[in-house]
Structure 1
Amino acid sequence: LFLDEIVLFFLGLANKVLVFPFETDFSFVALVPQKDMALRAFTLCLRVATELPEERQIILFAYRTPDYDELNVWREKDGRVSFYMSGDGTFYHLPPLSTFRTSLCLTWESRTGLAAFWVEGKRSTYQVYKPGHGIRPKGTVLLGQDPDKHLGGLEATQSFVGELTDLNMWDFVLSRSLIQAWHYGHKIPKGNIFDWATIQYELSGNVMVVDDD
């Protein structure tokens, strides 16, 4: 996948946490979607903890095709949380990420452009962002780094440091009740793009897989 290396993929992270212990420009986890990521709607959920200071930009999720950042989720230098789809982003004032795990979901659908973040099962205000847009397939999904070009251009000052777990993604908008159920750890329909329990992934650099104790 990267630099013509031989890639060894692993399967499933049930009851596991990804630990990114240090700021680097080479540590990441590549995720293999279960289906084509030509998306007109999605729900992305994950649990995240970090001790990086608020004024430090952090990439939380990056999906890039050869020419575009198709879906990037950030914590910005001013502490806001944002996401970008092929161009300018949209920004939200959310409770700050911290050393204690935050459950974070993002929903968007093309028909209306309605987009919202969900923190601990509570929805932000809706924003209208890129109605009619479509996310393109055949890209690469990374955790821990933001590729400024396809399969490269990584910067330590944007890297994720902390813990990520329970990342799931669906190609539709989950209802409030299902997002709240996910937040509380109840069983809900498995993510049909990414399901943490069966996810296919590749580790590169200094990333640890540890038990979720």
Structure 2
Amino acid sequence: MLWWRIPEAAFLLSVCACVTLAYEDDIEIQYTDYYNEITDGETPAPTPSSTPCNSPDLTKWDKIFSMMENSQMRENMLLQYVDDIVKVEMGTLRGELRRWAQIQQLLSAEHTQTSRLAKLESSCLSSRSAGAGFGLNGKNGLHLQEVTPGEVALDEVLAAMKAVKAELDEELKSSRQRRLPAGCEMALLFPVRSRRIYTAVIPDVPLSLSAFTVCMWVKPTSVFNKTVLFSYGHRRNPSEIQLLLAQTSAVFTVGEEASQVEARSVVSPGQWIHLCGAWSSEQGLATLWVGGKKMASNPGMAKGHSLPEGGSLQLGQERNGCCPLFDPKLAFAGKMTGVNMWDTVLSEEEISQLAAQRGQGCQQRGSVVAWGVTEIVPHGGAQFIY
């Protein structure tokens, strides 16, 4: 038993020895020094990198790309700006159209309800007259006089429609007040009465005239004893020509203020009015036109007189002969437009065309003072409005 185990043990020992030899590496490790050694040898010179390209073509392309980027940014900004403006304007226009559509619907409903109420009223009147003809006095007559729920509802509808009509009338009235007359696109605004607020007019030709016509549209805020609208004068006579308001009257003077033409009860505060003053030295005839109609005339005013040149022409004030300042009691407060002056006496038909509130009178220009062409210089707080 013991003898056969001896070879087996020898075989196991030989196998173990073979395995150990198979995995054995011939690596010699020598730890002569546990620290890194830095040699004192020469440091190799660094290799220089290549110089970047300095080609002029590359700089030119950079500039081109930069310009393209800048132009693209500007284009985007402009597009955004235009888009914002269009959005705002479209929103405003949409609101106005909706408001207009609502007004049209209200007007249509008002007309429909008015026609229905008229038919109902006529039918009620006819039925009552028929009942009276048949002698319905007693119980049946009292029954006809009773107010039914339908009539109460109709009364409420009628009251509501009257309120809507009143609102529409006020809206139309305010829109007419804001609109300028005779096709005018701008006006002069004199906000308050002040000695500093006036407008100087520099005529296209000298005012050495023997005949003229001056016309204008005015809308006074309030009226006083004397309010100067148009004034031409010099140091010796500051009132050679005056077109003015005196309470509810319009006054026109030439040469001397003692001789004048007056149209009474023609001016209303807050309302547009068209005034024309015409004068001829040969005939000595001065005429005042209000709203296209001849309201007053004076056949003996400054006959043979000629206007001297070199004077000053103002709107809304009168220059004193001695002092450079104005009198605040003569100042005009309100709006003024369509100021024109001709060197002839206009005909009745021409003045009527100028005074048409829904016409195109502002398209006609004077030969001495032309509205929208002649230089007009506001002073103080006077300004142009559109």
TM-score normalized with structure 1 length: 0.85
RMSD: 1.8
For the pair 1:183 / 2:355, whether they are aligned, the reply is yes
Task: Tell me the secondary structure at the aligned position of residue 124 of structure 1.
Answer: strand
1:82 and 1:89 in contact (8 A); partners too: no
Match of 1:76 in 2: 246
Per chain length, whose mean CA-contact separation is higher, i.e. which structure has more relative contact order (CA < 8 Å, sep 6+)?
Answer: 1
Match of 2:367 in 1: 192
For the pair 1:58 / 2:227, whether they are aligned, the reply is yes
**Cα 1:83–1:153, aligned 2, differ >3 Å: closer, same or farther?**
farther
Q: 2:236 aligns with which of 67, 76, 88?
A: 67
> Which of structure 1's runs of 4+ aligned residues deviate more than 6 A?
none
Match of 1:101 in 2: 272
* Residue type at the aligned position of 1:137: E
For the pair 1:112 / 2:287, whether they are aligned, the reply is no
For the pair 1:144 / 2:319, whether they are aligned, the reply is no
Match of 2:254 in 1: 85
More strand by percentage:
1
For the pair 1:45 / 2:219, whether they are aligned, the reply is no
Q: Please tell me whether Structure 1 or Structure 2 has the larger radius of gyration of its CA atoms.
A: 2
What are the within-5 Å matches in structure 2 for residues 123-162 of structure 1? 123-128=294-299, 129-149=301-321, 152-162=324-334
Task: State the distance in 2 between where 1:37 and 1:63 align.
Answer: 9
Moved more, 157-166 or 89-98: 89-98
Give the share of equivalent positions with the same residue, in percent: 24
What is the CA-CA distance between 1:50 and the residue it aligns to? 0.7
What is the CA-CA distance between 1:29 and the residue it aligns to? 0.6
What is the CA-CA distance between 1:143 and the residue it aligns to? 0.8
**Cα 1:52–1:167, aligned 2, differ >3 Å: closer, same or farther?**
same
Structure 1: give runs of 5+ residues left out of the alignment: 1-13
Task: State the distance in 1 between where 2:253 and 2:303 align.
Answer: 13
Match of 1:11 in 2: none
Task: Tell me the secondary structure at the aligned position of residue 125 of structure 1.
Answer: strand
**Cα 1:29–1:150, aligned 2, differ >3 Å: closer, same or farther?**
farther
Task: State the distance in 1 between where 2:306 and 2:268 align.
Answer: 29
Task: Tell me the secondary structure at the aligned position of residue 100 of structure 1.
Answer: coil
Matched residue count:
196
Task: Tell me the secondary structure at the aligned position of residue 296 of structure 2.
Answer: coil
* Residue type at the aligned position of 2:379: S
What is the CA-CA distance between 1:150 and the residue it aligns to? 6.4
* Residue type at the aligned position of 1:200: E
What is the CA-CA distance between 1:97 and the residue it aligns to? 4.0
Task: State the distance in 1 between where 2:255 and 2:325 align.
Answer: 17
Task: State the distance in 2 between where 1:20 and 1:189 align.
Answer: 24
For the pair 1:121 / 2:296, whether they are aligned, the reply is no
Structure 2: give runs of 5+ residues left out of the alignment: 1-183
What is the CA-CA distance between 1:189 and the residue it aligns to? 5.3
Match of 1:23 in 2: 193
Task: State the distance in 1 between where 2:242 and 2:325 align.
Answer: 15
Task: Tell me the secondary structure at the aligned position of residue 165 of structure 1.
Answer: strand
Match of 2:88 in 1: none
**Cα 1:100–1:74, aligned 2, differ >3 Å: closer, same or farther?**
same
Task: State the distance in 1 between where 2:279 and 2:271 align.
Answer: 26
Match of 1:35 in 2: 205
2:273 and 2:291 in contact (8 A); partners too: yes
1:65 and 1:150 in contact (8 A); partners too: no
TM-score normalized with structure 2 length: 0.48
Task: Tell me the secondary structure at the aligned position of residue 25 of structure 1.
Answer: coil
Which string of whole-angstrom CA distances, capped at 9 and with x for unpartnered residues, describes residues 118-155 of structure 1? 11111123212111111111111011211112672411
2:231 and 2:318 in contact (8 A); partners too: yes
Task: State the distance in 1 between where 2:376 and 2:322 align.
Answer: 18
Match of 1:201 in 2: 376
2:253 and 2:261 in contact (8 A); partners too: no
